[in-house]
Structure 1
Amino acid sequence: MLSIQQILKVPRTIGFKIAAGYSFLFACSFVGLTIFAYLFLENTLARQDRQMIRDEVESLQGHYNSGGWAAFNQTVMDNDRFRKNNPFFTRVIHGPEKEEKIFFPQYWKEFDLAALKELPGQTTGKWINLPNQGQTYTLEIFTASQPNGSLFQVGISTEERLSDLQRYEQSFLVISIPLILLAVGGGAFLSRRTLMPMRNMISTVGFIEAGKMDARVPETHTGDELDELGRLFNRMIEKINQLIQGMKGSLDSVAHDLRTPMTRFRNIAEAALQKDHTAPVYREALQECVDESDRILRMLHMLMDISEAEAGTMRLRLQPVNLVPLAEGIVDMYGYVAEEKGIQIKTDFPGEALLEADADRICQVLANLLDNAVKFTEPGGEVGVSIKNLPNRVQIEVIDSGIGIPPEEIQKIWDRLYRGGGATQKGLGLGLSVVNAVVHAHLGDVQVSSVPGSGSIFTVQLPVH
């Protein structure tokens, strides 16, 4: 049972407007077509009546010319036998005295035939409409002349024609009511069927608002725009759900990773307070606190970089860059670390590799890839860095002979704060996430291939422009 408020809201709903619009359009179309059909029928019947009168005039003239008045009179008598329902009116004016003869005057008592005598004489070839006493229909008359100066008039009553039109009007009234009801019902059905995806969407939003994040819009498989909208809505909800789950996971990971440096902060401060109150003790404690704060800031900056890149808002200072000097600087920087581990870094660089890029961000990518390669390569291993100029692109490869990546972890290594199951080195778990984010911000691509125990190959391709 609908409440009064719900009933008052019905006229404002899209479904009601569509149903009302469809019904109104159908009703207007039906009325317009009916009026057109009525006018066409009226005109057709009028032309048929006039054509019958002209045919009768030609017939009477032909018989008069071939047989005189006797043949004329006989033709009128014969026509009366065949047209009892709608006879022809026939009036003759002949002779020097202009004698008048009206055939079968009993048929025409409803008409003031005396008015015909008062009409102007020049009526030959013209139409005359003589109304009946009730002014409901007319006697339509055509005047013709004979070579001897005689006149005769032939007409027909419009009563039968008007009766046909009146039956048409009655049929229209009888048919219009069920058709209008059908239009209203059809409009309501079509609007309900058309807006069903919208109602499903509203219902789904209600479920999601209530906390049921697995609710989805049922697909109708109609292939129309609303069905496509439902599919896009489901994809959007799925993406939002993934982002929410990712945010939860990231927040959990961030909370976990922040707990360690914050605990160290507290432990360093407590230890300093418990020791002798000397400047060296406090200086050492403060230095350790600065190191931990740098670690936290580095983590937060990297998370912000990743978030900006994924949102498409990472600010890039694009400028012409020669990639070779940048790569050489990064290799030199990590050369000392690699040398301490007994790892050899081999390079294969062309004379130059020009592209439009943010130099600082590209250095960040190179540093992270090289840092991982050195970190996960055993002492005595080898790391290779190469740059190639490809058509419209520049390719960077970082190859290591390290521990490799298990196949089930290949796709996970790009996730924020993810650390592989075999990782034994300290790290934030953000390096490869930053690489992926920066490369895609440059409209590039990064891929990895790896064999566990044999090493990994990271391939970065960046567009020249």
Structure 2
Amino acid sequence: MTTTEPAPTRSLPKLPTRRGTRIPARAQIMGWLLLVLVVVLLAVVLIVRSFLHNDVNDQIAESLEQEAHEFSTFAATGRDPNTGQLISAPDALFDSYLRRQYPDPDEALIGVWRTPTGLRTLAQEQNDQIERFAEDPAMVQRIVDQPSTWGEEDTPLGRMSWVKVRAESANSDPAWFIVQRYTDKAMGEADRTVQTLLLVSGIGVAIAALSSWVVAGLILAPVRAVRQTAAEITEHDLTRRIPVEGRDDIAALADQFNAMLDRLEDAFRIQRQFVDDAGHELRTPITIVRGNLELLGDDPAEREEVVRLCTDELDRMTRIVNDLLMLAKADRPDFVTPAPVPLAELTSDIEAKVRSLADRRWVLADIGEGDVVVDEQRVTQAMVQLAQNAVQHTEPGSEIRIGSSLVDGTVSLWVADRGPGVDPAEVEKIFDRFTHGSGKGKGGAGLGLAIVKAIADAHYGRVRVLSEPGRGATFRLELPAIPPHIPVEEPTP
């Protein structure tokens, strides 16, 4: 005994899911805004600090160079400004120059010359603390020994910048003029400016945090309204909508959400209407079939009659279901696919098809000329349904007229009969679903004219009836020759 392995089942691919964060959107907006703001402010503070320090260094360098240049100019003359005598000794040169100088509080001017016993110094400063360290022999020796004409030293009073120039004298003893500038005070002022900027930036960040929290709440209020509305919507109540204010992205989101709700409401309405219509119309044939089957006996003739009746009712149910499905599809955008078609050819084809419906005197009254943009199959279906309706309300051999026209951009197709006509009280509702006329014709499900109206509506047109009781009725399908807002399907060559 062989066994057959069950066919493997294909599972639908799972859509990738994005694991979201638990941080509220409001907090995320505020956090990102503050992060960007802090980064920008920090960059600004660092740039300002660098600018201030560079500015202090430039000012110090300019001051040192200016003092050095003034001494070089004085030393080049080599004469006492008061007496005009030539100055030969370095100590006399430095003394003559320094007696006329008033250094800044953080500045020291030092003359240095070499003697057989070592270095000698003569200084001028305004600060007692600087006076104790400016002429430090070890530091002066390091500066003199430096091949460079400028440099920096770390001292107990902080960072010190210096420049030196060679002081030429008549006896050619080595001598140097040194300008010292202690920079901590100037740098401290720059750092205090940076600290003030940091404090102001911190206050600004705090204000920005509060403002961004409030503004984010205002911006996200419509989003919360969308969420709240979505939570309150059920399949039994799709009437809730979100109020739209403004023309920003949030308003566009609310518009799209409302449009989605409109589509959902239409879909549920169509679904409920289909179920209600099917239940309403199928109840009778199902009851008939069930009743006949319950009373089914053993008599062959009776069984044959029951089978015939049940088959007729099943055929009727099939037609009803097909009609209901068509009406359910009528609200879909692809219900009709218009394409250019010659009106004369369309009218002739319709007339040829309806002749086989019944023994009637079919008359092709008028034929319109020109091309129209319609769904040929749907329009033919509507006209055949109108012709079938005329057959149901006329006697064999009765005249039924068919025609078409194209006037001022409107195409008209009509079916006119000489039956009992339509009661004026029924004209307004004759195109509703499950509406049966009061005439003596064979009744259907009451869906044929509803299908005609659905086809007319899908073409942005209309169907209307002109009737006088006892003198017949004319059903006229009026459609725009070129329907708006419908994609036109080009005919295949």
For the aligned pair, the TM-score class normalised by the smaller chain equals 0.7 to 0.9
SS in 2 for 1:197: helix
5+ residue gaps, structure 1, are 1-8
State the one-letter code of the partner of 1:160. K
State the one-letter code of the partner of 2:69. E
In structure 2, the residue matched to 1:189 is: 214
In structure 2, the residue matched to 1:103 is: 124
SS in 2 for 1:140: strand
Q: Matches of 1:142 and 1:407 in 2, distance apart? A: 114
In structure 1, the residue matched to 2:402 is: 384
**Superposition pairs for residues 114-153 of structure 1, below 5 Å?**
114-119=138-143, 123=147, 126-133=149-156, 137-145=158-166, 151-153=176-178
Matching of residue 31 in structure 1 with residue 42 in structure 2 = yes
Matching of residue 43 in structure 1 with residue 61 in structure 2 = no
Is the Cα–Cα contact under 8 Å of residues 409 and 420 in structure 1 kept in the other structure?
no
State the one-letter code of the partner of 1:42. H
TM-score (norm 2): 0.70
SS in 2 for 1:166: helix
Which protein is bigger by CA-based radius of gyration? 2
Q: Matches of 1:260 and 1:99 in 2, distance apart? A: 131
Q: Matches of 2:137 and 2:401 in 1, distance apart? A: 123
- The count of residues paired between Structure 1 and Structure 2 equals 433
Is the Cα–Cα contact under 8 Å of residues 323 and 354 in structure 1 kept in the other structure?
no
Q: Matches of 1:376 and 1:238 in 2, distance apart? A: 40
SS in 2 for 1:214: coil
- Range that drifts further, 282-291 or 427-436: 427-436
Q: Matches of 1:202 and 1:370 in 2, distance apart? A: 52
Q: Matches of 2:404 and 2:155 in 1, distance apart? A: 110
Is the Cα–Cα contact under 8 Å of residues 456 and 463 in structure 2 kept in the other structure?
no
In structure 2, the residue matched to 1:431 is: 448
**Superposition pairs for residues 274-289 of structure 1, below 5 Å?**
278-289=299-310
Is the Cα–Cα contact under 8 Å of residues 56 and 154 in structure 1 kept in the other structure?
yes
TM-superposed CA distance for 1:203, in Å, is: 1.0
TM-superposed CA distance for 1:285, in Å, is: 3.2
In structure 2, the residue matched to 1:4 is: none
Q: Matches of 2:74 and 2:393 in 1, distance apart? A: 123
Distance change >3 Å, CA 357–CA 143, structure 1 → 2: same
In structure 2, the residue matched to 1:397 is: 413
State the one-letter code of the partner of 1:31. L
Deviation sequence 1:73-113 (CA, Å, 0-9, x none): 787566527x44x4x32123469988532213843424546
Is the Cα–Cα contact under 8 Å of residues 161 and 182 in structure 2 kept in the other structure?
yes
Q: Matches of 1:45 and 1:377 in 2, distance apart? A: 110
Q: Matches of 1:285 and 1:407 in 2, distance apart? A: 36
Is the Cα–Cα contact under 8 Å of residues 386 and 415 in structure 2 kept in the other structure?
no
TM-score (norm 1): 0.73
Distance change >3 Å, CA 145–CA 403, structure 1 → 2: farther
TM-superposed CA distance for 1:181, in Å, is: 3.0
Distance change >3 Å, CA 57–CA 436, structure 1 → 2: farther
In structure 1, the residue matched to 2:353 is: 330
TM-superposed CA distance for 1:298, in Å, is: 0.7
Distance change >3 Å, CA 457–CA 358, structure 1 → 2: closer
SS in 2 for 1:131: strand
Distance change >3 Å, CA 236–CA 357, structure 1 → 2: closer
Deviation sequence 1:384-442 (CA, Å, 0-9, x none): 33276999xx95622547649999959x94x7x2538888863434335545666898x
Distance change >3 Å, CA 390–CA 216, structure 1 → 2: closer
In structure 2, the residue matched to 1:205 is: 230
- Range that drifts further, 289-298 or 185-194: 185-194
5+ residue gaps, structure 2, are 1-19, 83-93, 483-487
Is the Cα–Cα contact under 8 Å of residues 405 and 451 in structure 1 kept in the other structure?
no
- The answer to which structure has the higher helix fraction is 1
State the one-letter code of the partner of 2:403. V
Matching of residue 243 in structure 1 with residue 259 in structure 2 = no
Matching of residue 291 in structure 1 with residue 312 in structure 2 = yes
TM-superposed CA distance for 1:304, in Å, is: 2.3
Q: Matches of 1:163 and 1:192 in 2, distance apart? A: 43
TM-superposed CA distance for 1:458, in Å, is: 0.7
CA RMSD of aligned residues (A): 4.6
Deviation sequence 1:224-260 (CA, Å, 0-9, x none): 2122111221232233224323433332232221122
- Range that drifts further, 37-46 or 177-186: 177-186
State the one-letter code of the partner of 2:359. Y
Deviation sequence 1:140-180 (CA, Å, 0-9, x none): 11223456576423232102222113313432453354334
TM-superposed CA distance for 1:34, in Å, is: 1.1
Is the Cα–Cα contact under 8 Å of residues 71 and 97 in structure 2 kept in the other structure?
yes
**Superposition pairs for residues 45-124 of structure 1, below 5 Å?**
45-62=56-73, 68=79, 70=81, 80=102, 83-84=104-105, 86=106, 88-93=107-112, 100-104=121-125, 106=128, 107-110=130-133, 112=136, 114-119=138-143, 123=147
Distance change >3 Å, CA 229–CA 420, structure 1 → 2: farther
Deviation sequence 1:321-362 (CA, Å, 0-9, x none): 97466323223134635x4xxx85524266x97999785x56
Give percent identity, aligned residues only: 17
- Range that drifts further, 61-70 or 111-120: 61-70
Q: Matches of 2:438 and 2:133 in 1, distance apart? A: 115
Distance change >3 Å, CA 436–CA 54, structure 1 → 2: farther
State the one-letter code of the partner of 2:209. V
State the one-letter code of the partner of 2:315. D
Deviation sequence 1:190-246 (CA, Å, 0-9, x none): 433332222211111221149654333243x24221221112212322332243234
In structure 2, the residue matched to 1:18 is: 29
TM-superposed CA distance for 1:288, in Å, is: 2.4
Q: Matches of 2:99 and 2:416 in 1, distance apart? A: 121
Distance change >3 Å, CA 450–CA 358, structure 1 → 2: closer
In structure 2, the residue matched to 1:419 is: 435
